[in-house]
């Protein structure tokens, strides 16, 4: 019987959903929201806080501050409450109400910034506010998820090895791109692995991460309005951009089968399905990372008025009935193992990972 004494000690990360029956394409979705923070951000938050403690940057007098659109803020709120730190989350109006209430319930303060006066967007406004705080008093400690190497190291050390254990013949991995911590950690790990893995980044239309002009983005999570400092494009084989309307459609299609996932997950699934539809997938082992669950999106993505106001009256209906797998037999897979199987790293390669 598992027994824990701190909330961040629990994180179920070996559960996958086979999306074949829902979308008609073989894709294993790694569920990362099964913890008390409700998202994959728990890993990065834990690594960054513990690294700051080891370095002596965090003391009992410190006050944590971070810019977040929501999920990292919840994770840091939970850790701060457990460890006895004070925490201020600097966010903006796109942050879901339930997320703000959750952070406050955990004892954190939440500051919501307005759009940047220069027109540079919400993120720059949040960062400017954090910088002003840190300049005013050295008790403020900014973990800076956008530049902190602990962000990607958490996924190099935990997320990617977990996938590798169960999918020894992984061919393609789909990872959402926000700060790019998850993307970079997984990409670096599989670059050193025993076989090639294609890394496909999934980004939101309107994000500038992989080029292009900035645009309106109403769903928090993935995408950036500035170039993410952690990103090294040489580790990414391809980037797929997803319209927010397609994110909503994917979320509703999953929900119609009983799976309530968050906006970041809907974006990743939509991008992965688009990529798979354009490639020969016979015998292909594909995994996508689902960063979050859907409860925090009940007043946005899953709220009819919100969706219709932003994306049109027929938006929800356009998601259509659940897509089923084709009735004709699928091509026979190759002889090599296919699907989730435990993988044991050969002893002589263990030091290379």
Instruction: Please indicate, yes or no, whether residues 174 and 297 belong to a single structural domain of this protein.
Output: yes
Does some domain include residue 327? Answer: no
More confident residue, 230 or 345: 230
Q: What's the CA gap between 98 and 181, in Å, rounded?
A: 24
pLDDT recorded at residue 96: 84
Query: Can you tell me the mean pLDDT for 314-322?
Result: 59
Does some domain include residue 277? Answer: yes
**pLDDT band of 313, cuts 50, 70, 90:** confident
Query: Can you tell me the mean pLDDT for 317-331?
Result: 47
**Residue 17 pLDDT more than 80?**
yes
More confident residue, 326 or 174: 174
**Residue 340 pLDDT more than 60?**
no
Question: Per the structure, how many domains does the chain have?
Answer: 2
Does some domain include residue 338? Answer: no
**Residue 346 pLDDT more than 70?**
no
Instruction: Please indicate, yes or no, whether residues 249 and 177 belong to a single structural domain of this protein.
Output: yes
| Cα distance from N-terminal residue to C-terminal residue, the chain | 31
Could you give the C-alpha distances from 292 to 63, 147, 197, 299, 348, in angstroms and in order? 27, 22, 24, 16, 36
Does some domain include residue 236? Answer: yes
Instruction: Please indicate, yes or no, whether residues 71 and 213 belong to a single structural domain of this protein.
Output: no
User: By mean pLDDT, which of 51-55, 136-140, 340-344 is the weakest?
Assistant: 340-344
Query: Can you tell me the mean pLDDT for 214-240?
Result: 90
Could you give the C-alpha distances from 139 to 64, 86, 119, 161, in angstroms and in order? 8, 11, 30, 36
Dihedral angle over CA of 288, 294, 298, 303, nearest 10: 30
Q: Which domain holds residue 50?
A: 41-142
Mean pLDDT computed over every residue of the chain:
88
Does some domain include residue 65? Answer: yes
Instruction: Please indicate, yes or no, whether residues 108 and 208 belong to a single structural domain of this protein.
Output: no
Q: Is beta strand 16-18 parallel, antiparallel or unpaired with respect to 28-31?
A: antiparallel
**Residue 318 pLDDT more than 60?**
no
- Output the domain CATH number for residue 114: 3.40.50.1100
- From 142, 172, 197, give the residue that closes a domain: 142
Instruction: Please indicate, yes or no, whether residues 192 and 253 belong to a single structural domain of this protein.
Output: yes
pLDDT digits (tens, 9 = 90+) for 248-301: 999 999 999 999 999 999 999 999 999 999 999 999 999 999 999 999 999 999
- List the 86-92 sheet strands across, edge first: 109-113, 86-92, 63-67, 140-142
CB 165 within 8 A of CB 343: yes
Instruction: Please indicate, yes or no, whether residues 199 and 274 belong to a single structural domain of this protein.
Output: yes
**pLDDT band of 229, cuts 50, 70, 90:** very high
Instruction: Please indicate, yes or no, whether residues 47 and 31 belong to a single structural domain of this protein.
Output: no
Cβ contacts of 140 within 8 Å, gap of 6 or more: 62, 63, 65, 133, 134
Query: Can you tell me the mean pLDDT for 145-167?
Result: 96
- From 142, 170, 199, give the residue that closes a domain: 142
Instruction: Please indicate, yes or no, whether residues 51 and 134 belong to a single structural domain of this protein.
Output: yes
pLDDT recorded at residue 221: 76
């Amino acid at each position: 019987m598992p027994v824990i004494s701190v909330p961040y000690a629990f994180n179920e990360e070996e559960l996958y959903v086979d999306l074949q029956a829902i979308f008609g394409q073989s894709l294993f979705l790694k569920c990362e929201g099964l913890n008390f923070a409700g998202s994959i951000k728990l890993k990065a938050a834990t690594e960054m806080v513990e690294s700051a403690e080891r370095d002596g940057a965090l003391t009992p007098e410190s006050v944590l501050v971070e810019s977040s659109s929501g999920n990292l803020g919840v994770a840091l709120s939970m850790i701060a409450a457990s460890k006895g730190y004070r925490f201020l989350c600097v966010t903006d109006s796109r942050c879901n109400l339930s997320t703000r209430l959750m952070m406050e319930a955990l004892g954190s303060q939440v500051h919501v910034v307005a759009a940047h006066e220069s027109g540079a967007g919400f993120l720059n406004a949040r960062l400017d506010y954090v910088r002003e705080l840190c300049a005013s008093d050295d008790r403020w400690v900014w973990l800076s998820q956008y530049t902190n190497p602990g962000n990607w190291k958490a996924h190099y050390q935990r997320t990617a090895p977990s996938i590798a254990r169960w999918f020894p013949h992984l061919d393609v991995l789909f990872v959402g791109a926000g700060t790019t911590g998850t993307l970079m950690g997984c990409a670096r790990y599989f670059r050193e692995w025993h076989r090639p893995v294609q890394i496909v980044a999934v980004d939101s239309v309107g994000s500038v991460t992989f080029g292009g002009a900035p645009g309106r983005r109403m769903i928090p999570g993935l995408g950036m309005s500035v170039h993410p400092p952690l990103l090294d494009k040489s580790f990414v084989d391809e980037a797929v951009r997803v319209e927010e309307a397609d994110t909503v459609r994917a979320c509703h299609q999953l929900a119609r089968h009983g799976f309530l996932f968050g906006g970041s997950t809907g974006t990743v699934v939509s991008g992965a399905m688009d990529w798979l539809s354009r490639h020969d997938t016979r015998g292909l082992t594909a995994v996508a990372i689902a960063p979050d669950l859907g409860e925090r999106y009940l007043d946005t993505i899953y709220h009819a008025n919100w969706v219709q106001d932003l994306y049109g009256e027929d938006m929800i209906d356009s998601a259509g009935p659940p897509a089923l797998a084709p009735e004709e037999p699928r091509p026979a897979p190759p002889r090599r193992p296919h699907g989730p199987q435990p993988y044991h790293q050969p002893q002589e390669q263990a030091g290379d990972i």
